[in-house]
Amino acid sequence: MKKLTLLMLGVFAFTFFAHAQDESTESAGVEFIMEDWHGAVAQAEETGKFLMLDAYTDWCYWCKVQDKNTFANLEMAAFIEEKFVPLKVNMEEGIGVELAAKFRVTGFPTLLFFNEQGQFVSSVVGYIQDLDKFKEMLEEVLAIEEEQPYAFDSKVLNPGFPQWYIDRYDPQLRRSNPTSAETVNAFLEEQEDLFSEVSWSVMYGFNNDLNEKYKDHFLDNVDRYKEIYQESEVSDVQYGIVMGVVRKAVDEKNDEVFAQALAMVDQYMPEEESIKTNMKFQYYQATENWRAFTEFAMGLLEEQGVEELTGLCNQVAWTLYLKCEDAECLQHAAAWMEKVCEIAPDFAFIDTYAALLYKTGEYTTAKTKAEWAIEVGKEAGDDVSGTEELLGKIEAAIAGDDD
């Protein structure tokens, strides 16, 4: 059964290296069992229901949004409570650390699903904004009939993990006592079965530290790993290995090494064209090749249309505003943001457009757009203080020109 990893098109998540937020995780609606893994498993077995585990952290912003917008929805709450035993566990405390290590939870929010036998059947990483799509996902989970879809027993939380592997999922120990690549590869060298749950978990959790022997082993046996573990987890490791090559290319500013990384995607993940897109943006940005960064974005917009990529347009344009001083690149970004604002006049988009106009010296138009952004932002309840500060800079620039 394929893991439902939804990180694009209205789905949002944080890795466990994100920064803390201060908001509460409390929500009305779904009445969750709190932190009691064993009790929830027992209840699922008794009632014959699937178990839904909401894996959260205190700092996860999208976890709080999910609580507020999804689990507080009364219709959704009624459906969940009818079909599932709902459990909520903090992945950075108590048994949550064990569960995170067992099920390799590194992004938040994550929903883990188990059948009435207590066996893991699927997971979703990220916040799904659309409630209809969220319910469709739940119905897909409920349709899973395999008693044990994967090659491990979900009820055995620790099948023999080394302590340093478990410590990786404890935020305090992860920071204070990081595991070396030498430790990881020495451990794998001792394993008789590199397809075991323990070996796989170590390779998954420390894919950036694998030496060439274990990278090659994994890449040569991708199909086998997909048969016994989640396909998306296997893709995660593939991506991690490829990104290791990208980091090397960035460090060396070496286009040939970067081309090798792109070739690896073609060889091992030919269906994942979006990965190459992300890689190119990351490489051009990291090497400060803003012409290539801008030209690549313009090619995507010409191919797919601005209306299909408004979010990407804004992200790329804002990056250029913050980091690029090339006037031609900034002018191109302003041109496509003008189209974006016509299609979707959202506060963030108009704010970016105004900022680009300011940076390219179009002060009069920038002032008009900044005022528009502030008006739209206030109506939507957004924080417009940054745009008000920008407007002050624009007005000062106009006054300076008049002098």
Evaluate if residue 81 carries a pLDDT over 50: yes
| CATH code assigned at 378 | 1.25.40
**In-domain check, residue 122:** yes
Say what the pLDDT of residue 10 is. 42
Evaluate if residue 27 carries a pLDDT over 60: no
**In terms of Cα–Cα distance, which of 213, 262, 189, 203 is closest to 233?**
203
Domain end (from 287, 321, 340) = 287
Same domain for 352 and 278: no
Domain end (from 287, 308, 334) = 287
Q: Amino acid letter at 49?
A: K
Mean pLDDT of 81-93: 98
Same domain for 311 and 261: no
Q: Taking a C-beta distance cutoff of 8 angstroms, is the pair 124, 66 a contact?
A: no
**In-domain check, residue 40:** yes
Say what the pLDDT of residue 273 is. 84
Same domain for 242 and 305: no
| CATH code assigned at 132 | 3.40.30.10
Report the alpha-carbon distance of residue 75 to residue 86 in Å, rounded. 15
Give the confidence band of 120 by pLDDT, cuts at 50, 70, 90. very high
Instruction: Look at the chain and count its residues.
Output: 403
Mean pLDDT of 14-37: 64
| Number of domains the chain is built from | 3
Same domain for 9 and 147: yes
Residues 6+ apart with CB under 8 A from 271: none
Same domain for 275 and 306: no
**In-domain check, residue 162:** no
Same domain for 382 and 364: yes
**pLDDT per residue as tens digits for the range 359-379:** 999 999 999 999 999 999 999
Report the alpha-carbon distance of residue 245 to residue 205 in Å, rounded. 18
Same domain for 369 and 347: yes
**pLDDT per residue as tens digits for the range 150-179:** 989 999 999 999 999 999 999 989 888 899
The pTM of this model reads 0.74
**In-domain check, residue 298:** yes
Same domain for 330 and 386: yes
The burial class, CB within 10 Å (0-12 / 13-18 / 19+), for 26 is: exposed
Say what the pLDDT of residue 268 is. 85
Say what the pLDDT of residue 9 is. 35
Same domain for 137 and 10: yes
Same domain for 105 and 131: yes
Backbone phi and psi for residue 51, each to the nearest 5 degrees, phi listed first: -105, 130
Note down the domain range covering 391. 289-403
Q: At what angle do helices 310-323 and 327-343 cross, to 10 degrees?
A: 150
Same domain for 300 and 281: no
